[in-house]
Amino acid sequence: MTKEKPSLLDLAGLLSKKEADELRRHIKNRRKSMRKRMDEIAERMNKL
């Protein structure tokens, strides 16, 4: 991801409310799955 991204606020201004809600949901889901992955890695490290 070398391309410079506009800030989320800039994006939110361009998106309709529906699109903004979908984007927010997508980000939240990604955070959740990342946290889950981190927990799995931590468990594996604890078993070593």
Burial class (CB in 10 A: 0-12, 13-18, 19+), 23: middle
Query: Domain extents for the chain?
Result: 8-47
Please write the tens of the pLDDT for every residue from 9-47.
666 566 678 887 888 898 899 999 999 999 999 999 998
pLDDT at 23: 83
Tokens of 16: 């309709």
Tokens of 4: 């410079």
Q: Confirm whether pTM is higher than 0.75.
A: no
